[in-house]
């Protein structure tokens, strides 16, 4: 089997010290860094250095991490929960893995770590999708169209007979 070269940063809250101990017990401390909760600037800096964003959620509404991942042009690996399918197109702008399927998650990540071409394709498509559908410029255009449509409606006056 080919040796994979990777490093993971697991950010967020929760029992971080316990997770660090578990990583150490598995001799993964050199490969897995757990900084805890990150502020917006720290999260942006991390995304600018990353290749893949992984969010194997069991339940979500619409995870902002997924939007942030595509905004930064990362290859996103997530699950089909909440509104993720409204943002990610499997194999095009990201990759879905089944909820709770550790083997599928591991296989997907191993493939992306090894396959730079697929990772770059997902990254490029994700960024384009973000720019075309979720960027501030796109949002402002949508608001302008809505405003134009509403202001073009005939005005009615209340109480007119």
pLDDT of residue 4: 76
Residues 18-62: tens digit of each pLDDT: 999 999 999 999 999 999 999 999 999 999 999 999 999 999 998
C-alpha closest to that of 94 among 130, 125, 71, 68:
125
Is the residue at 143 inside a domain?
A: yes
> How far, in Å, CA of 27 to CA of 90, rounded?
33
pLDDT of residue 138: 84
Q: What is the pTM of this model?
A: 0.83
Instruction: Identify the CATH number of the domain in which residue 130 sits.
Output: 3.40.50.2000
Is the residue at 88 inside a domain?
A: yes
pLDDT of residue 158: 63
Q: Tell me the pairing of strands 52-55 and 75-78.
A: parallel
17/66 same-domain check = no
Residue 112 backbone dihedrals phi, psi, to 5 degrees: -70, -35
19/78 same-domain check = no
Is the residue at 159 inside a domain?
A: no
Is the residue at 138 inside a domain?
A: yes
pLDDT of residue 103: 97
65/144 same-domain check = yes
- Please report, in tens digits, the pLDDT of each residue of the chain (161 residues total): 567 789 999 999 999 999 999 999 999 999 999 999 999 999 999 999 999 999 999 999 989 999 999 999 999 999 999 999 999 999 999 999 999 999 999 999 999 999 999 999 999 999 999 999 988 888 888 889 888 888 888 776 665 55
27: left (phi over 0), alpha (psi -120 to 50) or beta: left
> How far, in Å, CA of 161 to CA of 157, rounded?
9
21/99 same-domain check = no
């Amino acid at each position: 089997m080919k040796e994979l070269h990777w490093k993971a940063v697991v950010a967020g809250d929760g029992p971080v010290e316990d997770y660090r101990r578990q990583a150490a017990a598995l001799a993964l401390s050199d490969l897995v860094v757990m900084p805890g909760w990150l502020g917006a600037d720290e999260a942006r800096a991390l995304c600018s250095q990353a290749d893949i964003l992984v969010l194997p959620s069991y339940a979500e509404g619409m995870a902002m991490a997924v939007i942030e991942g595509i905004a930064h042009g990362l290859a996103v690996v997530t699950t089909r929960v909440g509104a993720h399918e409204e943002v990610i197109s499997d194999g095009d702008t990201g990759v879905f893995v089944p909820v709770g399927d550790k083997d599928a998650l591991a296989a997907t990540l191993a493939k992306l770590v090894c396959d730079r071409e697929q990772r770059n394709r997902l990254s490029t498509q994700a960024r384009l999708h973000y720019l075309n559908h979720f960027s501030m410029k796109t949002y402002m255009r949508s608001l302008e169209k809505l405003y134009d449509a509403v202001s073009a409606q005939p005005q009615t006056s209340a109480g007119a007979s």
